[in-house]
Amino acid sequence: MSKTAAHVSLSSEDKEDKSLDTTVFSDSPRRGEIEDRSSDELTVYDGKTTAAEAALRRKIDLRLCTIAGILCSLNLIDSGIISSASVTTMFEDLSLQGQRYSVSIFIFTIASVVFQLPSTIAVRVAGPRIYFACATTMFGLLTMCTAFVRDWKQMIALRVLLGISMSGIYPGLTYLISTWYPRHEQQLRFAFLQSGEVIVLASGNIMNYGLNKLDGRAGLAGWKWMFLVNGILTMCIGFLTYWWMIDFPEKAHESQGFLTAEEVHIVTQRIQRDRKDASIDPLTWSKIYPHFLDLKLYGFMCMFFLLNLVSTSMSYYLPIILQNGMGFDANKSILFSALPYYYAVLPVLLTSFVSDTCKIRGPLISFNALCLIAGFLMFGLPSSHSTAVRYIGTFLTTGAYVSNWAALSAYQANNIVGQWKRATVAAAVTAANGLGGVAGSYIVRPKEAPHYPTALWVSVGSHILMIVIVLIFSAYFYIMNRRQRAGLAVIEGVPGFRYTL
């Protein structure tokens, strides 16, 4: 990590927050275990040991963000496989003509949405290592089984189970990451998450291009090879996840060879100083339901809905758009659909670095939304005839929505406090995100090729609305922060806490 990034959490805003009460933790006989002791038994971490803090962040980044990025790719690897398969013989082999392909996407998303909240709570109850290992292995097994379905009905049944198996992966990972980092270090970590996701997706599309050339080998169609090989690889990752994944900070001693007790002490004090929610209360449903009365939750849900409305239409239909809308053949459509995702790594890391350094969220979300609108206009307007210009538009669009995944994840995580509220909001916004995916699965209509006007104007309108919501949030957060500085308000029930604009 650069010195600039290491300096972020120690700026004047953090120093102002020292008025927050901190819970002191000390070494214990077990590796990384936390227990209370009097403050004179240890050296209290005061936020000034920047070298130790930077080294610790790198250690957490290498262990947590790497596996989280790989697991997060399950959110897109399914869309990568099925979208690549959609330009092969899969439609004819499974009779997926008409609306059946859209239904296969729709039913997967509905199953995922229904189980998102209980699955996210299960991450906290069972622990990340057990939950993510089991969920990933099951997802891989079901993906592999998809290679052997014989008709669209069997396909739909497996898609329901696939949606259930991956329902807690994304909200669980965003929740886990938010417990390890102070608020103004989170967006870059979410960017690492998204970078890993899109790199795996892009590489998977290139692999699918090669697997499609195995068409007819061992009596299997090319699309069957895609599901078979990707499923086996995912199961292998699931087995490794148990040893690679880390637990929540208070149970870091249960992770294989990870943090020392002093390092756990530093992590916990940083979180406690930032937002006073390092400790976890016992789970009761009374700690879940009241959070649905917070209107901010519904604003965040709307933005995630609008974002996934577009990202689903692009991730599931990009090869079809390239084939039917731009005239590429099946293999080139699969191959060329990978390149926009490789490009997306650049804007997501750049905008997230700027966002964390400047400690702002809303302006970057609006900037990404404007870039997405520009990209859609480049490849969707009737006056767009150049294939090169239209293809470049897919780069701009993909980079923008991937960047906003990280930005929106940080935006909601930075402006809420409390472990169970954090878990509840993560599940709720991911559920809304899934509902956006349901709508997004229907806005790209093959009969509207090559310009897809429905997808164009729905996407443009949705992101204009997103900018409006950001402006409303920014005004509200600014007013509340002024009231807090004047001593007229306590935000989120935590003295000294301020919203991130």
Residue extents of the structural domains in the chain: 52-274+288-491
Q: What is the pLDDT of residue 388?
A: 87
Poorest-pLDDT segment among 21-30, 79-88, 299-308, 487-496: 21-30
Q: What is the pLDDT of residue 12?
A: 39
Looking at the DSSP bridge assignments, the partners of residue 25 are 36
Assess contact for 1 and 61: CB atoms under 8 A: yes
Q: What is the pLDDT of residue 269?
A: 86
Q: Which residue has the higher pLDDT, 46 or 102?
A: 102
Residue 378 has pLDDT above 80, yes or no: yes
Residue 287 has pLDDT above 70, yes or no: no
Closest by Cα among 180, 252, 166, 163 to 422:
180
Mean pLDDT of the 286-309 span: 89
Q: What is the pLDDT of residue 441?
A: 77
pLDDT band for 283, please (50, 70, 90 cuts).
low
Q: Which residue has the higher pLDDT, 5 or 432?
A: 432
In percent, the amount of the chain with pLDDT more than 70 equals: 87
Poorest-pLDDT segment among 32-36, 355-359, 497-501: 32-36
3-class secondary structure for 28-85?
CCCCCCCEECCHHHCCCCCCCCHHHHHHHHHHHHHHHHHHHHHHHCHHHHHHHHHHHH
Residue 30 has pLDDT above 70, yes or no: no
Residue 21 has pLDDT above 50, yes or no: no
Size of the chain in residues: 501
**pTM of the predicted model, to two decimals?**
0.78
pLDDT band for 38, please (50, 70, 90 cuts).
very low
Mean pLDDT of the chain: 84
Q: What is the pLDDT of residue 330?
A: 80
Poorest-pLDDT segment among 137-146, 183-192, 253-262, 289-298: 253-262
Q: What is the CATH number of domain 52-274+288-491?
A: 1.20.1250.20
What is the rounded (10 degree) CA torsion for 431, 436, 441, 444? -170
Q: What is the pLDDT of residue 280?
A: 66
Residue 285 has pLDDT above 70, yes or no: no
Residue 240 has pLDDT above 90, yes or no: yes
Mean pLDDT of the 346-361 span: 95
Poorest-pLDDT segment among 65-74, 302-311, 416-425: 416-425
Assess contact for 205 and 341: CB atoms under 8 A: yes
What is the rounded (10 degree) CA torsion for 480, 486, 488, 494? 70
C-alpha 50/C-alpha 392 separation (Å) is 42
pLDDT tens for 243-274 read 999 999 888 777 777 888 888 888 888 888 88
pLDDT tens for 207-229 read 999 999 999 999 999 999 999 99
pLDDT tens for 113-143 read 889 888 988 998 899 999 999 999 999 999 9
CA atoms within 13 A on the CB side of 466: 34
pLDDT band for 347, please (50, 70, 90 cuts).
very high
Q: What is the pLDDT of residue 443?
A: 86
Q: Which amino acid is at 419?
A: Q
Q: What is the pLDDT of residue 26?
A: 35
